[in-house]
Amino acid sequence: MRKKENYGGKKMNIKKMLPYLCKEDLNSLLEACVKGEITEEDFKVPYLYPFLEPEQLMTVLRSAMEGTINVSPKGILPFLEEEQIDELLNELQETENDKLAVDDLLPFLEDKQVRKLFGDILEKSKNKTE
């Protein structure tokens, strides 16, 4: 028989605990979500985003892009750092991914990144016509 997570007659809500969890507990929760040990019905992974470290966010993003976790990679983008967005941009320019496209990154790119991206696309278009 499975024990219920009742405390004082009420079901404990993990979401409400997030601001009070230490990094280790957040990491344990993230791992349980990635491994499918916690159902989406019990806890939704996007609730974790504001509390995760940059490398943890990249773990969620990679899992989402691989389809091993059921979240939209686009929802993670606002929480990434500039270097991570740049890394992702370079990656997506070299390999296609059906869950995330270069276009999805546009709102999060710096002006210099947009100019470089535009220049690359323009150059490729010019080479096609030659």
Domain that holds residue 129: 81-130
Q: What is the pLDDT of residues 24-61, one digit of tens each?
A: 999 999 999 888 888 888 889 999 999 999 999 999 99
115 and 129 co-located in one domain: yes
13 and 35 co-located in one domain: yes
94 and 71 co-located in one domain: no
Contact criterion met (CB below 8 Å) for 65 and 73: yes
Could you tell me the two tokens for 99? 């869950």
55 and 91 co-located in one domain: no
2 and 51 co-located in one domain: yes
Q: What is the number of domains present in the chain?
A: 2
19 and 61 co-located in one domain: yes
Tally of CB atoms within 10 A around 118: 10
Q: Is 8 helix (H, G, I), strand (E, B) or coil?
A: coil
73 and 98 co-located in one domain: no
* pTM for the predicted model, two decimal places: 0.79
